Amino acid sequence: MTTSRRRFLSTASSAGLAVAAAFRDDAVPRLMAASAATAGRSPDEVARDEDFWREIQLAFTLDRSIINLNNGGVCPSPRVVHEAFKRYLDISNQSPVYHMWQVLEPNIESVRRKLAVHAGCDHEELAITRNASEALMIAQLGIDLAPGDEVLTTNQDYPRMLDTWDQRERRDKVKIVRISFPVPPPSMADLVDRIERAITPRTKVLHFCHITNLTGQIFPVRDICRMARARGVRTIVDGAHAFAHFPFAIRDLECDYYGTSLHKWLLAPVGTGFLYVRRELIRDLWGLTPTSASRAGDIRKFEEVGTHPAANHQAIAEAIAFHETIGVERKVARLRYLRDRFARRLLRHDKVRMLTNLDDPAQAGGLSNVSVIGIDPGRIVSHLWTTRRILVTPIIHDEFQGIRVTPNVYTMLSEIDAFAEAMEDVVTRGLPAPA
C-alpha cells in the first residue's frame, strides 16, 4: 500500500468512507490486494493493521448512524454477497420453473463442495439447510429414541433446541437432563468432567454447543465426543456461532452430527446453514420431511423441504470467497482484538465482570458477555440504544446476567471505543431513574 493511500486512510472521516463504499465496485479486488500485502505477517499483527481492516469495512454498505454490536443473531452480508443474492433472485424470476430449477438449483452441488472444504468433511456428509435450528432439529427429531432413554444437554444451550428436546420428552417419553456450568468455567477439563459425570447407562444422546450464544464459551468438542463415543453415546454439536468464526475441521471434532448457520459469521444471506451427518449414520436418521426410501442413504434427503429459493444458497459461494480473502485466522484474531479493546478498559472498574475467558484463546473468540454488578442489563441495553444508538443484547439466565457484545469484521475502533465510553459512563454515574 502506498504512502499516499495510508495518509488518506488515516485522515478520511468515517462518514465519508461509508458513503464512498456504496459507490465502489472494486471492493473485492482492493481487499485481495490488501490481503496480499499482509502475506507473511501473523494474524495478531494483521489484527492491529487498520489499513487492512478499513478495506474490509469499505466492502459493506451499512447504516453507520447505528453502532451494531449485536452480530450474534444475524450479520449483514458484504456488498458482493448481497449483490449476488439479488442477481440470483432476478435470474430466478425470469421463469422460475426453468431458471430456478434447471439453471440455478443444480449448482447447489458446487456450493456443497466448497462448504465441505471449509467445514473439513466429505461433501456427501453435508446438507445445506435454512439455518442452524433446522439442521439441529433434523438430528434431534430424526434419532430413534425409546421411552426412558436419556438425552444429556446443558442449561446454556440454545432455547429453540432445548424446546425441541422438551417436545420429545412430552411426546416420546424420553428423559432430558440439563447440567450447569460456571461462567467462565475454571478450565476446559472441567467441562469434560461435568458432562462425563452426568452420563448414565440410559444416556443415548449428548447435545451441546461448540460455542455458547450466551457468553461465547468454546467447548473442547473432540475430547467430549471421544469420551461419549467410548460410552456408546451419540453426539449432536450446535455450531451456530462457530463456523467461519474460528478455525476448526469437523472431521477433527469426531462428532456424529453438527449444525450451523451461515448468515452469522460466514456473512452469507439470511436463511442459510448446513447439517453434517457422519456418513454411516445418514441412512438411519429420519428427515424432517419424508422422502423416498430409495434416498435413505443420501445426505440430500435432508434438503427436501418443498419449493424454496435457489438464490440464498447460490450466494453462499460469494460469501465463501469473501471469507477466504480475509482468512479465518485473521478474522478471529481481529474479533478478539476488538473484544479485548473494550473489555480490558472496562475491567479497570471494580463493578465490571467479564463472563467470558479473555486469557485463553481456546475458550473464546469474538462473542463475549460483560456484567455490571448491581445494574440490570436490560436497562443498560435500553439506555445505550436510546442515548447512543448502540445495539447490544441483554442476557438474562437463571444463574447469571450480562450484556452480550458481538462485533464483526466491519466494526471500527471508534465504534468499540464509543461503546466502552458509554459503558464507563453507566458504571461511574449509574442510570437515570425510570420516568
**Sequence spans of domains, the chain:** 14-76+327-429, 82-320
**What cell numbers appear for 225 in the block?**
465426543
pLDDT one-digit tens code per residue, 163-205: 999 999 999 999 999 999 999 999 999 999 999 999 999 999 9
The pLDDT value recorded for residue 1 is 45
Dihedral over Cα of 158, 160, 165, 166: its sign: positive
Contact 227, 196 (CB under 8 A): yes
The pLDDT value recorded for residue 5 is 40
Q: What are phi and psi of 317, to 5 degrees?
A: -60, -40
> Distance between CA atoms of 127 and 110, rounded to whole angstroms?
12
Identify the segments of the chain with pLDDT beneath 50.
Answer: 1-24
Q: Which of 3.30.70.270, 2.130.10.10, 3.40.640.10, 3.30.56.10 is the CATH number of 82-320?
A: 3.40.640.10
DSSP assigned state of 97: H
Contact 101, 108 (CB under 8 A): no
pLDDT one-digit tens code per residue, 403-418: 999 999 999 999 999 9
Dihedral over Cα of 12, 13, 14, 16: its sign: negative
Architecture of the domain delimited by 14-76+327-429: Alpha-Beta Complex (3.90)
The pLDDT value recorded for residue 25 is 56
Contact 244, 266 (CB under 8 A): yes
Percent of the chain at pLDDT > 70 equals 93
Contact 342, 405 (CB under 8 A): yes
Contact 75, 264 (CB under 8 A): yes
